[in-house]
Structure 1
Amino acid sequence: MSQSRFNHVFITQRVSLLRTLERMVNNHSTAEDLLQETYLRVTRALSERAIDHLEPFVFQTARNLALDHLRARRIQSRTVLDDVPLDVVQAVASPLSSAEDAAHAEQLLERLNLSLNQLSARQQQIFILSRLHGHSYLEIAQKLGVSLSTVQKELKLIMAICIGVAQRHDGSGKP
């Protein structure tokens, strides 16, 4: 299928694609960005192989991009930072920090790592699934065969441990 055929399909379906994306992401600007990315992805795919059913392929590409965007947004919103006080977050070294700040942050991460390694296997799984993979509490509970309450309690305990390590590290000025 030629690029000119795709251009015709894209122009014809642009409004419908944009509406679909807007409904999915609830943001016109993001939907426009995803629409542009859809165009680029389909163009790239056409240069690599023939696509028999172009219109459904275009819509599926757009939906997949929107779902990827939503998944990334969900993961970003569920990072460890959500549960950590602002002063603790600000104590972590940035790329422009001094060597002393960087060393301090490295020591803090080592302490956190030691503490997290002392968690039970289930607690480690819960932490990884929640904070690194972005799974919901319900998904974790189902995956591990435990109650939602157990997941919530374990995560609260884990975050308390992390915050306690950070506060002890910063409070004394020494690791």
Structure 2
Amino acid sequence: MSQSRFNDVFITQRVSLLRTLERMVNNHSTAEDLLQETYLRVARALSERAIDHLEPFVFQTARNLALDHLRARRIHSRTMVDDVPLEVVESVAAPASSAEDAAHAEQLLERLNVRLSQLSPRQQQIFILSRLHGHSYLEIAQKLDVSLSTVQKELKLIMSICIGVAGRSSKL
């Protein structure tokens, strides 16, 4: 297959390829880079051998490059976190907050406290054991003599309450 035929196919499929890549990597700029790399890889492959079904080959090459990119990004982010000692992470200063930020946080905590105080004693205990003491769902279920499902459902409810309070707070 000739290079000019490949150029025609690539130009015809460019928009579709770009959309596919954007959906996969959630970034237009990265998708453009992957599209260029796809062009180069397919052009190199064509110079080395004949390709019978060019369009599927182009799409598969683009898909493979996107998957490689996502895999590398996931490994890189995991490596970055694992490679930095916890002491270093903890020593990094948080950005200074303004008095307005502090007041907003104080109000949010007060609203959360009021709402959490309205929970049943069992719900409060589940919340404290899970979120403050770090117990697993199974440990909580055994400690409170309830089913694992009960712990999961109660925590789901409690967390939705917290999210609701935080959501209303951010709209103020």
Return the TM-score normalized by structure 2.
0.49
Return the TM-score normalized by structure 1.
0.48
Flag the structure with more relative contact order, 1 or 2, with Cα contacts below 8 A and sequence separation at least 6: 1
